[in-house]
Amino acid sequence: MARSSGPQAVATVFRDGGSAPPPDLPEGVAVTFDLNRLLEERSGDRVRLHEEHMNARLAQVLRTIGFDRDWVSGRGCYLYDAQGREYLDFLSGFGVYALGRSHPVLKKALQDALAADLANLVQMDCGLLPGLLAEAIVARCHPGIRRAFFCNSGTEAVEAAIKFSRRATGRDRIVYCDHAFHGLSTGSLALNGGKEFRSGFGPLLPGCEAVPLGDIDALERQLAAGDVAAFVFEPIQGKGVYEAGTEYWTAAEAACRRHGTLVVADEVQTGLGRTGRLFCHEHWGLRPDVVTVSKALSGGYVPVGAVLTTDAVWKRVFRSMDAALVHSSTFGSNALAMVAGLATLQVIDDEDLVDRARRTGDLFTKALRPLVDRYEMLVDVRGKGLMIGLEFGRPESRSLRLRWDALERVRTAMFSQLVVVPLFDRHRILTQVAADGVNIVKLLPPLVAGEDEVDMFVAALEDVMEEAHKGMGLYMDVGWTMARGLLKRSR
Ligand SMILES: Cc1ncc(COP(=O)(O)O)c(C=O)c1O
C-alpha cells in the first residue's frame, strides 16, 4: 500500500481556523471558545505544557526515544503528524482503537446523540441507552451472563468486580496471576503482578495472593482454605502476551467451582474481538461468573467500562431495595458512552471484525514464525488474533552475544528498544515494549488491519532484524536517536 504524505492530514484538523457561532446562545453573549483556533494557535506549546503542568518525566522519555511527534489526526490504522507523514499505529491507544481511528459510524452516532440534546444522566431514571447496551453486550457473552454494570474505565471495572465478588461470596481474599495487569487504582493494583507498579503505594488490599499462570497446583493450594472470593485473570496477559492452554483453564475453572470461588475474566484488553473471538475466554471454553470489559467498547471516543455478571452474583450484591445504589458511578451510564458502545458492537458485527482479527492474526503468525528460525535474537512469536508478542533473547553466537550483553548492561531489556525505536523512526510504525524489564514487543493493531498492514510490518521487522544481526549500524542509529533526544532535553 502506498504511504501517503502531504498536507491533507494537517488540513483535517486545522481546516477552517474557525467555525460558525453555536445557535441558541443567549443574546449578547460573546463566543470566545474556538477549538480550531485554539489548536492552531497553541500547537507549538504541546511539549512545554506537559513539561510544566503534566507528566514531565513522560515527556522526557518520549524525547529520548524520539517519539515526540506533533500528532494532528488519525484515520483507520494510521496516524498523521504535522508534517503530513503517515504512521502505522500498532499500539491502537493501548487497544482502544479496535475499529480504527475516526470510524465514520461512530462519528455519526455521536454527532446524532449530541444533536438530539438527550436527557442524559438524569440519575433517578431507567435510561433507554444503558438498557440497550446491557441487552446487546450480555447477548454476546455466554448464556449465564445476564447483567451489566457500567463505569468509566478498565480499572473501575476491576474494582467493581472485586467488590461484587466479595459481597457475593462473603469472602475477602482474591487470587491473581504473576505478571498480571488489572489497572492502577489501589484495588486493582493489589492484583498487579509487577513490583514496579506497586512499590511505594502500599499497603494495598490485604488477602490478595499471586499464583504463576499455568500452575494448577499453586491455584489449588490457594483455593483450598475456602476463603477466596475470586480468581481474577486475563485470558491472555497483556504484559508479555503470556498464555496458558485449555487444559489449565478447564482445571482452574473446575477448581474454582469446587471451592466456591468466583471466576473473573478481565477482558479489558482481550475483549471484543481482539484475540479472534468476541471474548478471549471462549478460546478456553470458559464460563466466567464475572467479565470486565472496557477499551474497545469506547469506539475510541468515550471512556467506558462494563462489568458483566451472572444473575446469581448480581442478586447477592444488589440484594434489596436498600442496596439499589450500593455500587454506582456518576458518569457510568452516560449517553455518549452508551451510544459509543452500541455503535461499536454493531460495527464489530457489520464489518465481521472478530473473524477479520482471527484471519489477519493468522497471516501475521504465518509470516512472523519463520523469522524465529532466521534470526537468532527473535526467540518467540505468540498470541492470538491481533494480540501478538515478539520475544527476543540472548543469542548463541559469540559476536552477537557480545553486542546483546553490552546493550543489556546499559539497561535491562534494552534490545526491545532497539526494535521499537527504528520501527518508529525508520519505518513509521508505532509499537510498544510489552512490559518493564522484558525483551518483548507487543503488537495491538486495530482489528480493521489487513494484508497490507501485515506486509508493511513484516518487511519493516525483517529490515530491523537483518540490521541487528549484521553490524553496528542499527546500534549506532538508535544510540544517535537517543543522544539527540537527551540533547534536546537538556536545552
Ligand atoms: C487487562 C486489563 N485490565 C485493566 C486495565 C486497566 O484499564 P484502564 O487503564 O482503563 O484503567 C488494563 C489496561 O491496560 C488491562 O489491560
Give me the CATH number covering residue 235: 3.40.640.10
pTM value?
A: 0.94
Residue 159 near residue 363 (C-beta atoms within 8 A)? no
Are residues 455 and 324 both part of a single domain? Answer: no
Task: Return the residue matching grid coordinates 468476541.
Answer: 278
> Which residue bears the cell 474497545?
296
In the numeric block, the cell 515478539 is attached to: 390
Q: Are residues 389 and 467 in the same domain?
A: yes
Whole-angstrom distance between the N-terminal and C-terminal Cα of the chain?
A: 39
Among 350, 365, 388, residue at a domain's last position: 350
Same domain, 363 and 334: no
Given this model, what pLDDT does residue 11 score? 36
Nearest-CA residue for atom 4 of ligand 1: 182
Residues 292 and 151 both lie in one domain: yes
Which one, of 323, 3, 305, 293, lies nearest residue 150 by Cα?
305
**Ligand 1 closest atom vs CA 234:** 1
At 215 the pLDDT is 98
- Best CA proximity match to 161, nearest among 230, 252, 219: 230
CA of 192 to the centre of ligand 1 (A): 11
Q: In testing the pocket of ligand 1, which one of 91, 188, 295, 432 has its CB within 8 Å of the most ligand atoms? A: 295
Of all protein residues, whose CA lies closest to atom 8 belonging to ligand 1? Answer: 154
CA distances from 318 to 290, 326, 486 (A): 15, 7, 54
Burial class (CB in 10 A: 0-12, 13-18, 19+), 126: exposed
Binding site membership of 158 for ligand 1 (Cβ less than 6 Å): yes
| Helices and strands, counts by H and E, the chain | 19, 15
Is the same domain home to 272 and 345? yes
Q: What spacing in Å lies between the alpha carbon of 268 and ligand 1's midpoint?
A: 6
DSSP assignment of 197-208 equals HHTTS-S--TTE
Residue 155 CA, closest ligand 1 atom number: 11
Residues 132 and 269 in one domain: yes
What b/e readout covers 264-279, taking b as 16+ CB neighbours within 10 angstroms?
Answer: bbbbbbbbbbbbbbbb
Q: Which of 219, 249, 222 is nearest to 237 (CA)?
A: 249
pLDDT value at residue 480: 78
Contact 226, 232 (CB under 8 A): no
Does residue 453 belong to any structural domain of this protein? yes
CB-ligand 1 contact for 154 (6 Å cutoff): yes
309 and 373 together in one domain: no
Of 350, 373, 403, the residue at which a domain comes to its end is 350
pLDDT tens, residue order, the chain (491 aa): 444 443 343 333 334 444 566 777 888 888 899 999 999 999 999 999 999 999 999 999 998 889 999 999 999 999 999 999 999 999 999 999 999 999 999 999 999 999 999 999 999 999 999 999 999 999 999 999 999 999 999 999 999 999 999 999 999 999 999 999 999 999 999 999 988 999 999 999 999 999 999 999 999 999 999 999 999 999 999 999 999 999 999 999 999 999 999 999 999 999 999 999 999 999 999 999 999 999 999 999 999 999 999 999 999 999 999 999 999 999 999 999 999 999 999 999 999 999 999 999 999 999 999 999 999 999 999 999 999 999 999 999 999 999 999 889 988 999 999 999 999 999 999 999 999 899 999 999 999 999 999 999 999 999 999 999 987 888 888 877 877 777 675 54
The whole-angstrom separation of Cα 347 and Cα 109 is: 11
Q: Is residue 37 part of a domain?
A: no
List of residues 6+ apart from 394 with CB closer than 8 A? 377, 401, 404, 405, 408
Mark whether 255 and 363 lie in a shared domain: no
89 pocket-lining for ligand 1 (C-beta < 6 Å) = no
Q: Is the CB of 270 under 6 A from ligand 1?
A: no
Handedness of CA 96, 100, 101, 104 (dihedral sign): negative
Does residue 45 form part of some domain? no
Give the model's pLDDT for residue 16.
44
Domain end residue (candidates: 350, 369, 388): 350
Same domain (yes/no): 461, 343: no
Q: Which helix (H) or strand (E) holds 352?
A: none
Burial-class residue 181 by CB neighbours within 10 Å (0-12, 13-18, 19+). buried
CATH number, domain of 477, equals: 3.90.1150.10
Q: Are residues 129 and 250 in the same domain?
A: yes
| In-domain check, residue 70 | no
Provide the domain limits for residue 384. Answer: 353-490
31 found inside a domain? no
The number of distinct structural domains making up the chain is 2
Q: How far does the centroid of ligand 1 lie from the alpha carbon of residue 20, in Å? A: 39
In a domain, 242, yes or no: yes
pLDDT at residue 471 in the model: 79
| CA–CA gap between residue 349 and residue 103 (Å, rounded) | 14
Ligand 1 atom nearest to 269, measured from its CA = 16
Whether 203 and 307 map to the same domain: the answer is: yes
Residue 250 domain flag = yes
Task: Say if 6 falls within a structural domain.
Answer: no
pLDDT score for 484: 75
**263 and 126 within one domain:** yes
CB count within 10 Å of CB 149 equals 26
Q: Which atom of ligand 1 is nearest to the CA of 267?
A: 1
Give ∠ CA 480-433-402 in degrees, rounded to 5: 55
> What is the Å distance from ligand 1's center to 178 Cα?
16
Three-state DSSP class for 460? helix
